[in-house]
Amino acid sequence: MAEDSGGGEKTEDATGRKLDKAREEGQVGKSQEVPAVFVLLAGVAILHVLASFIYQNMLDVMRDCFSFQSIPHVSAEYFIHLFYRYIEAFFKVLMPVLAVVFFAALVTNFFQVGFVISWKALEPKFSKLNPIKGFAQKFSSTAFVEFLKSIIKLLIVAIVTYYAVVNELNTILNLYDNSIGFILAYVMKISYLIFMRVLMIMAFLAVLDFAFQKEVKDEHKQTEGDPQIKSDADVVVTNPTHLAVAIKYDSLQMDAPKIVAKGAGMVAENIKKIANENQVPIVENKELARNLYKHVETGEYVPLDLYQAVAELLAYVYNMKGKSM
């Protein structure tokens, strides 16, 4: 029998009902980097498609901005007209970009976590006004990791922008001798170049973050998030310290034993802890634990080549419980 794990940040059992409740409250696990990359990609794409439209509108605004110098008597009405002209041009350029970016954010979040509408996430919580609790949350391990990721992204943008400007410094210093149209086109070209370089780096970081979040999500599902360990598992087989595999068999409903959870390292410790708390037998069998962990996924049935070993294990457990297979 394995002993209880001594550590772990959270030992509260998570059930399907608890996970559903968390989802209703808007607490869903997802990568923050993937939506950011797709939003950036959508922004770059729409800016590329609307480049001529944006260029023409901005050029008209800049010409209007400098045209009043040639007007002998500039009235207040002219400035009001100019102000509304700027606002109109601003919204004509910005609204299609914002619409595409907003849609991209919705789509990427939908593909990560599905369709979730939670009004509870918008409800005011007075506990958030607690300065001590807020301080603790800001300096928690999760918040610290997110803070580091934000710093890294900021540094990436700063470094890419710096080198883009330095490489074009000679041209930039001589822009004063060119027309407004040329200057605007040049600024748009440099901005597009910076966006593309940032996008490529952020895409690489997003792949890493998505893989990490998926691994965390799978581990959570297999241990704290899988209520079958405590309600269905007949036995947990270990190797004994690094691996743990929870097995269920119901002769009336199953053709073969089924793996309901498995894990390595801290995940294995969590499985054994939940098993101990719910009186699920834990049996040490190094070879069987390794084979099940390596060859059978959670939710799959035990293959024929391992069936005999698992049957003997279940027979041993049922014999201890005075239960028949």
Could you tell me the two tokens for 31?
A: 């990568």
Find the length of the chain: 325
Maximum CA extent, the chain? 104
Neighbouring-strand partners of residue 244: 238, 263
Most confident of 62-71, 119-128, 146-155: 146-155
Residue 251: CA count within 13 A, CB half-sphere = 7
Q: What is the pLDDT of residues 42-94, one digit of tens each?
A: 888 888 888 888 888 888 877 777 665 556 666 777 778 778 888 888 888 88
Identity at 97, one-letter amino acid code: V
Residue 292 pLDDT greater than 90, yes or no: yes
Percent of the chain with pLDDT over 90: 9
Identity at 198, one-letter amino acid code: V
Q: Specify the residue for token string 């997110």.
A: 146
Domain with CATH 3.40.1690.10 in the chain: 228-321
Please tell me the distance from the alpha carbon of residue 278 to that of residue 260, in angstroms, as a whole number. Answer: 15
For residue 121, the model assigns a pLDDT of 47
For residue 16, the model assigns a pLDDT of 45
Please tell me the distance from the alpha carbon of residue 150 to that of residue 32, in angstroms, as a whole number. Answer: 11
Nearest CA to 280 out of 242, 238, 308 is that of 238
How far apart are the two ends of the chain, measured CA to CA in Å? Answer: 21
Q: What is the pLDDT of residues 239-271, one digit of tens each?
A: 878 899 999 988 888 888 989 888 888 888 888
Among the listed ranges 62-71, 171-180, 184-193, 225-234, which one has the minimum average pLDDT value? 225-234
The CATH homologous superfamily of the domain defined by 228-321: secretion proteins EscU (3.40.1690.10)
Please tell me the distance from the alpha carbon of residue 13 to that of residue 26, in angstroms, as a whole number. Answer: 20
- If one counts every other C-beta atom within 10 angstroms of the C-beta of residue 291, the result is 19
